[in-house]
Structure 1
Amino acid sequence: MASVSASFEADRHAAADPRRILVGLIGRGIQLSRTPAMHEAEGRARGIAYIYRLLDADHMGDGALRLDDILAFAEHFGFDGLNVTFPYKQEIIPLLDELSEAAERIGSVNTVVFSGGRRIGHNTDFWGFKESFRLEMANAERDTVLLLGAGGAGAAVAQALLESGVGQLRLFDIEEAKAAALAAELTSRFGANRVTVASDSVTAAARVDGIVNATPVGMAKLPGIPLHPALLRPDCWVADIVYFPLETELLSEARRRGCRTLSGESMAVHQAARAFELFTGIVPDIDRMRAAFDAFGDTPVPHSASGD
């Protein structure tokens, strides 16, 4: 009887363990996200009761739920924080109480920490892409690079590219005004002649050293390719920040045409690691999170159960 009582007491104390973390990912079409697997695996390894939930607006009611309602829901049910992905990285900013220096500078948020009744926005995409590019594209030519997409992810990637030594960045977005606004902001920080706005992707792709896709085109939710495959030359490297699916049509075409490629895996792992640190105060094991990413595969999680 004593052993049973001792076991119950141990369970009671474990249930009261303050190292309990509840976080989630807000977005649309995120059922293939590997972010929950990475976070929960690292949490288990650290002895934390770590729960990560997908708050996919496409699978919540009729799909018309407002972002502020999702945030209120998360706070009401005791979430410690949230990751934010397409299409909410900029829309969420007016709903927050405070921004980190990086989030304010970039104008995009992909991580929100709930602390002391306040919503604090951060951007880990910038660091995630910059680390990915540093580690996997160290010797890549970067005099001129074309960036597709000037939204929340594009703003983070643009700054990471410029800080990584890209000489001239060409911005293309189907909403040219959005590209122009981002170009103006980048010019104020990095100086004239570093950033130009392209009016069409065909002209912009000519004679560039690399092409980066920071649009949602290629996601499972938005299949396709963001520019014509004929523009992919073998002497031009291609990077895609989309990672579900990991093998996008853009990367598949680029490899087939002999291009050096960079998938969204490394960026996803590094941004998730930085978000884990923000949620827990613990520096995670990058290799362990990468192993969880690799083990997940491209099988959708159940709808009843997605960084990014």
Structure 2
Amino acid sequence: MNTQENIRPDEHIAALANAQANSRATPHSYLVGLIGSGIGGSLSPAMHEEEGSKLGLHYIYRRIDLEALKLDSAALPELLSAAERMGFNGLNITYPCKQAVIPLLDELSDDVRALGAVNTVLFQDGKRIGHNTDWSGFARAFERGLPDVSLERVVQLGAGGAGAAVAHAALQMGTQALTLFDVDAARAQSLADELQKRFPAAKVSAGTSLEQSLATAQGLIHATPTGMAKLPGLPLPAELLHRELWVADIVYFPIRTALLQAAEALGCRTLSGGGMAVYQAVDAMRIFTGLEPDAERMYTHFQSLLQR
């Protein structure tokens, strides 16, 4: 049972303020957090705090769960202001806030300006600076887990904040033809248009027939919330999968989603969302602290967390 469910926002903020007061006990103290909905199972706090300890820091990472607090993204202005006032060093941002947070920021990194999505906010010198480490985290995980697959023709499900990041990564890695699908067809078309401008040598389009697109694709990227513990199930009919596909999922809780299980049953090569979760955290920690986390140590720790 989530112990935050009955905590009012003001009580939650007071608890975070107490944590910040404690975090000032050493000169190398950091207070960061994660804003999102349904994040009770996130492993980010454990990953960040363990690596912070290894780096000799007093590092506190808190979940700010909109679902548990009975809030929605309309609470973002209040939450960001409260975090600034309490001395947070920064925040990670996840579903459904990666795009909604942008108007609330003072500066945007080049990645954010290109992607239109934020997953990391640094509070520095009185400014809120937005970054995106999702795309770099996905690229590094992909290169580790599926280093030799063909990227010629790729289908992607999901064109939201995370989808924008992983589509960018796929094209950066050499995808020649990327077809996007989303429950909001206009959003898929908008993202396709933006990516086409950014990657003119590739062909980027919003798809019309998932069956036809998958039939000739080498790979499938899944970038929607479907398959998460709170949204179980498959994001597409299982019969559309075929053994020649590689399948990459960005969901990591559970680590073996229904999609990956269906793909593995056919003999497909697969990539879970675990690597992306680790490597985006590595890059976010670097932004928060200015120090270089040990990526392999964080990856090993993440694997141990999955066994608990």
| Shorter-chain TM-score above 0.5 | yes
TM-score normalised by L of structure 2: 0.89
Query: Does the Cα contact within 8 Å between 1:244 and 1:298 map onto a contact in 2?
Result: no
Aligned to 2:213: 204
Aligned to 1:154: 163
TM-score normalised by L of structure 1: 0.89
1:288 CA drift (Å): 1.3
Query: Does the Cα contact within 8 Å between 2:152 and 2:175 map onto a contact in 1?
Result: yes
Identity of aligned residues (%): 49
Encode CA deviations 1:84-131: one digit per residue, 9 max, x unaligned.
Answer: 111111111001110011111111100000111111000000110111
Kindly report which structure 2 residues correspond to 1:146-295, keeping only aligned pairs within 5 A, or say none: 146-191=155-200, 194-295=203-304
Aligned to 1:114: 123
Q: How many residues align?
A: 285
Q: Which residue of 56, 60, 71 maps to 1:63?
A: 71
Query: Does the Cα contact within 8 Å between 2:33 and 2:64 map onto a contact in 1?
Result: yes
Encode CA deviations 1:59-85: one digit per residue, 9 max, x unaligned.
Answer: 11x334612122122222221100011
Aligned to 2:306: 297
Kindly report which structure 2 residues correspond to 1:69-108, keeping only aligned pairs within 5 A, or say none: 69-108=78-117
Encode CA deviations 1:126-185: one digit per residue, 9 max, x unaligned.
Answer: 110111112221210121000100111111111110111111000001101001111111
Question: Which contiguous aligned blocks of 4+ residues in structure 1 show a shift greater than 4 angstroms?
Answer: none
- Greater C-alpha radius of gyration: 1
Encode CA deviations 1:247-286: one digit per residue, 9 max, x unaligned.
Answer: 1111111111111000011111111000000000001001
SS in 2 for 1:254: helix
Change (3 A) 1:272 1:225: same
Query: Does the Cα contact within 8 Å between 1:240 and 1:264 map onto a contact in 2?
Result: yes
Aligned counterparts of 1:265 and 1:87: Cα–Cα separation in 2: 19
Aligned counterparts of 2:183 and 2:212: Cα–Cα separation in 1: 14
Aligned counterparts of 1:16 and 1:193: Cα–Cα separation in 2: 52
SS in 1 for 2:34: strand
Question: Runs of 5+ in structure 2 lacking a partner?
Answer: 1-22
Query: Does the Cα contact within 8 Å between 2:39 and 2:63 map onto a contact in 1?
Result: yes
Change (3 A) 1:126 1:193: closer
SS in 2 for 1:155: helix
Aligned counterparts of 1:77 and 1:220: Cα–Cα separation in 2: 32
1:199 CA drift (Å): 2.1
CA RMSD, aligned part only?
A: 1.5
Tell which has more relative contact order, 1 or 2 (C-alpha 8 A, sep 6+).
Answer: 1
Question: Runs of 5+ in structure 1 lacking a partner?
Answer: 1-13, 300-308
